[in-house]
Structure 1
Amino acid sequence: MSDHSHNTPTPVLAFPLPQNSHSPLQLTLYPITLKFEELVYKVKIEEKGSWWGTWKTREKTILNGITGMVCPGEILAMLGPSGSGKTTLLTALGGRLAGKLSGKISYNCQPFSGGIKRRTGFVAQDDVLYPHLTVTETLFFTALLRLPSSLSRDEKGQHVEKVITELGLTRCRNSMIGGPLFRGISGGEKKRVSIGQEMLINPSLLLLDEPTSGLDSTTAQRILTTIKRLASGGRTVVTTIHQPSSRLYHMFDKVVLLSEGSPIYTGPASGALDYFSSIGFSTSLTVNPADLLLDLANGISPDFKQTSEQGDNTEQDPKTIREALISAYEKNVATRLKTELCNMDNSGYSHNKDVSAKSEWKSQQWCTSWWHQFSVLLQRGVRERRYEAFNRLRIFQVISVAVLGGLLWWHTPTSHIEDRIALLFFFSVFWGFYPLYNAVFTFPQERTMLIKERSSGMYRLSSYFLARTVGDLPLELALPTAFVFIIYWMGGLKPDPITFILSLLVVLYNVLVSQSLGLAIGAILMDIKQATTLASVTTLVFLIAGGYYVQQIPPFIVWLKYLSYSYYCYKLLLGVQYSDDDYYQCSNVEWCRVEDFPAVKSMGLNHLWLDVFVMALMLLGYRFVAYLALHRVRFR
């Protein structure tokens, strides 16, 4: 690093690198100067018109001409009441804002890129964490995914230990995170775990959305002290904060104050009160500066005497006060900011950066291999779902249905062919719908986690998708295997080992196909209520068209049964259980061909390999649709 120009800040390492290492980590810690100029963001919202049932669309401005800059070692705080655009601005700075944003955001005079994304830590307001993992497991899996493969597993573990110590998480390191259904660590500890996940990569740019919301003043102070220490190490820190205490406020270097999307102050935190005094908004009381700023942003004036050019008092109307503040900002602050940004551009800092670092920022795509991502995600998924997967309720549910079904079909004689066929159809229906309803929940429940981790450039979508689906297989296949073992022999079906194994394979095949459809429905809709509604309609149609209830479907709708995997599974189970030359006792003295029985005749016992092929197309097709649908899951 000795060839850096004199204008280039020295990279800061938060943890030791292995000896004689040429790790790319050395380049990833390059300090970032963040600049944003004239940011404008508008969204279209639908409103109910004056006439009944009519809707009209109008455009709402969320951000309106916001400019600012924050350098390494500084904390920029964005203040403003709820709905003022703080989170939208932070999301835009993190490159996560969907929709059209006008203006310019630059990182060391470079546009946002994948390299910068992997050097940016983003802590959302809501702590999105897996409830069944411990604090150590959560941080360790994050380290395995986000730190480069040039570091060994032990070295990544050392970084995790350092972060746990630095954030004061030692006491709860082996405690589960917890969720709505069971108690885990406290809110402050969860927030520190979220910050710790971002600290692991030693980010050059750290963005935090309301890091102190819902926390008591002591915990908030501790978290902001940690953030201040991170900034002093050479990082660029931007945070939104709703109502900071005066102690917290004085930790900020710069402040952006927003009112309904428009800036009314941008500059040093220490100079905010002087600025507002200079434009006629002052108070004689000793108040928390943040309280005064938020009052002004809400259009509430302090005990001030604001004098207009004519010399009379201005009416204290919120709208009037906001307009006066915006007008003063345009006149006094906006011009100064533009001049500062121009001076920074001309200072030469941005253009004398290390060329190799710059090219590495752009070129590096992923810091770990596909296989590494897949194996880590698989381990994490199995560990997270070890409690919910083989829970007693699901096991009891399946085993009890198997035993009850076995008792109802207890040793059904060969002459009762209707009952035997009904049992085979029950196989295809139960294991066509049960896995589907379980799979429907998979991706909607993981949506927030997927958005968070993919936004950080943590892993490829393909490695996540495969790990998530493979991780579910042990449970998805173990329960139907136990089910078939119980009900097959109790029901008195063909007592031949080959027939039994083939029947089991058909049921497992059906499970995989139905699971694929459930994943596709969940991924397309990404809403549990909508997905379960569509799943129930689909399963009902498949049930009716499965070939058992309606054997002579009218020609104009006969195509419906060919979409039902229950139809193919039922046909395969019949084909495995019976052959063309099988007979059953149809009366006391007469034997009839199974193939001639109406229910079997309508299905047929031939072309079984074609049915296997069609189900294979469904299996692959539904999963491919689910994968494509996940590509649409973008930032919030």
Structure 2
Amino acid sequence: MANNPTMPPASADDNPLLFINQKPNVELQNQNRSRRFTGSSGRSINKELESEPINDYSSVISIDMLYSNGSSSNELTNYPLLLSFNNLSYSVKVGQKLLPDLPFFGSQDDVKKTKLLLDDISGVAREGEITAILGASGSSKTTLMDAIAGRISKQRLKGTVTLNGEVLGSKLLKIISAYVMQDDLLYSMLTIEETLMFSAEFRLPRSLSKEKKRKRVDALIDQLGLRSAAMTIIGDEQHRGVSGGERRRVSIGVDIIHDPILLFLDEPISGLDSTSAFNVVKVLKQIAKSGSIVIMSIHQPSHRILSLLDRLIFLSNGQAVCSEAPSNLSQFFGAFGHRIPENENQAEFALDLIRDLEDSPGGVSTLVEFNKSRQYSKRDLDEPKCELKDAIKASIVKGKLVTTGTASNDDIGSDLTSSVQTYANPFWIEMMILSKRLMINSRRMPELFVVRFATVFAAAVITAGLYWQLDNSPRGTQGE
């Protein structure tokens, strides 16, 4: 395999954790000792590297074995990941029970109706790109993303989801992916740094020292652009804290602490102002460029946000009506017979046109068929360029998948699941982490702790009073 001169080797600039846990070349040790890593705010992430040699070569994953077959870093990093979903269809039973289950009245499935939520949807998502799923409310955006992320029962889901040509199993998908929910579920009295540190203690392997977990948190804070607010509490209605955009970025950080290959986000900019939404998508763009596949649902992007997206999938009643790059929307709809006017938001034009077609007698069937014909003509461009095992090797070289722990050369790739522990920490350590988090949050909100304690105490007194001094006589039993 020839080296690709256009692809630089993976460095600590891509992910500081890679350099921290990789044994440096002896000839370059002096250079590595004086190297500094700085985030977007200019703050040094690893100051001690300026004057001290790296003596701890225990790695998050064994990097040296990746080159045991003579492959260079350039070769491994030239393996792009390609996620494909083909002919996805999903239906559910709707309706209420009209009759009890009796032998002569048939099964209840005969009474219920079947609703098709996904109808033969196919598409691709590439490494380094953001794929956005657009559509009106009720168009099955979240359902499609859940189907790709493996969050839907496979008994009712038809079709396949593959990564570089290999079907994704549920265990492998859990290891290499992260799913960010629409709602922000954070402890209000914890700071951003504490929130991400608790996530690191939960999700990163226990073989990783606390110092290295903290360095991972520092690198993530800089990646999310939260350095200036790192020591600010999350806040709630009664306590002033971070802004809505910063809160959303913290939620993303909690789920990507292990630096996943696949990142799914459900309406990540919902409820945010234009500037905050743009900053969130900019962070997602940086995450994608670091070697991840980012898939998110979005309602109606602005022109600035649209410029950051790489691939759009428009849905209508569970059908894919357009799967194009933003730069190709004008050509797509022009070929369909509806030219997009100049200075018009192309995404808004597409959504308005789709809504008009839904209200027409013929519906969107013609647009669906037109989109399928366009995708069929490009099918040769959507073929994976390497095997999944090699692609995952390349991702690990770039510093992805911190949760993989130490593994051998044969464990990486399709057999990655066998080298990863089911739980990052034993039960008693998780209980200690949860108790510590609860105590910190309660100590900073004493009024809430007092109210909860008083409520529990009052309920205990009332319950005890009901059974106070009851005897075993019939009268006492009746009193019980």
Q: TM-score normalised to the size of structure 1?
A: 0.55
Counterpart of 1:185, as a letter, is: V
Cα 1:430–1:70, aligned 2, differ >3 Å: closer, same or farther?
A: closer
Rg (Cα) greater in structure: 1
Counterpart of 2:424, as a letter, is: T
1:182 positional shift: 4.1
The answer to whether the 8 A contact 1:34-1:69 is kept is yes
Deviations 1:405-459 (A, max 9, x none): xxxxxxxxxxxxxxxxxxxxxxxx945848xxxxxxxxxxxxxxxxxxxxxxxxx
2:276 maps to which residue?
219
1:163 aligns with 2:220: yes
1:71 aligns with 2:71: no
Counterpart of 2:362, as a letter, is: T
2:88 maps to which residue?
39
1:338 positional shift: 4.8
2:288 maps to which residue?
231
1:390 positional shift: 7.3
1:82 positional shift: 1.1
SS of alignment partner, residue 358 of structure 1: coil
1:74 positional shift: 1.4
1:318 positional shift: 3.2
1:248 aligns with 2:248: no
Cα 1:9–1:242, aligned 2, differ >3 Å: closer, same or farther?
A: farther
The answer to whether the 8 A contact 1:9-1:31 is kept is no
The answer to whether the 8 A contact 1:47-1:58 is kept is no
1-side partners of 2:291 and 2:268: how far apart?
20
Q: Which residue of 53, 60, 74 maps to 1:23?
A: 60
The answer to whether the 8 A contact 1:35-1:107 is kept is yes
Cα 1:263–1:390, aligned 2, differ >3 Å: closer, same or farther?
A: closer
1-side partners of 2:223 and 2:253: how far apart?
9
2:450 maps to which residue?
392
Deviations 1:294-329 (A, max 9, x none): 1123235xxxxxxxxxxxxxxx95352522212322
Q: TM-score normalised to the size of structure 2?
A: 0.72
Identity of aligned residues (%): 31
Counterpart of 2:368, as a letter, is: I
1:107 maps to which residue?
163
Deviations 1:147-172 (A, max 9, x none): 22232111111221222233222333
Deviations 1:496-522 (A, max 9, x none): xxxxxxxxxxxxxxxxxxxxxxxxxxx
Counterpart of 1:224, as a letter, is: V
SS of alignment partner, residue 343 of structure 2: coil
SS of alignment partner, residue 131 of structure 2: strand
Counterpart of 2:377, as a letter, is: R
1:149 aligns with 2:234: no
The answer to whether the 8 A contact 1:254-1:267 is kept is yes
1:337 positional shift: 5.5
1:548 aligns with 2:470: yes
Once the two structures are superposed, the pairs formed by residues 489-528 of structure 1 within 5 Å of their partners are none
Cα 1:183–1:390, aligned 2, differ >3 Å: closer, same or farther?
A: closer
1:14 maps to which residue?
15
Counterpart of 1:62, as a letter, is: L
2-side partners of 1:246 and 1:280: how far apart?
23
2-side partners of 1:547 and 1:337: how far apart?
82
SS of alignment partner, residue 139 of structure 1: helix
Cα 1:396–1:37, aligned 2, differ >3 Å: closer, same or farther?
A: closer
1:270 positional shift: 1.5
- The Cα RMSD (Å) is 3.8
2-side partners of 1:179 and 1:154: how far apart?
30
Higher relative contact order (CA 8 A, sep 6+): 2
Cα 1:396–1:130, aligned 2, differ >3 Å: closer, same or farther?
A: closer
The answer to whether the 8 A contact 1:40-1:64 is kept is yes
Once the two structures are superposed, the pairs formed by residues 96-135 of structure 1 within 5 Å of their partners are 96-98=151-153, 100-108=156-164, 109-135=166-192
Counterpart of 1:176, as a letter, is: I
The answer to whether the 8 A contact 2:133-2:315 is kept is yes
SS of alignment partner, residue 38 of structure 1: strand
Return the structure number with greater helix share.
1
Once the two structures are superposed, the pairs formed by residues 128-527 of structure 1 within 5 Å of their partners are 128-299=185-356, 317-330=359-372, 332-336=373-377, 338-341=379-382, 343-344=383-384, 348-350=386-388, 355-363=410-418, 364-366=420-422, 368-370=424-426, 371-386=428-443, 387=445, 391-394=449-452, 430=460, 433=463
Instruction: Give runs of ≥4 in structure 1 deviating > 6 Å.
Output: 2-6, 8-12
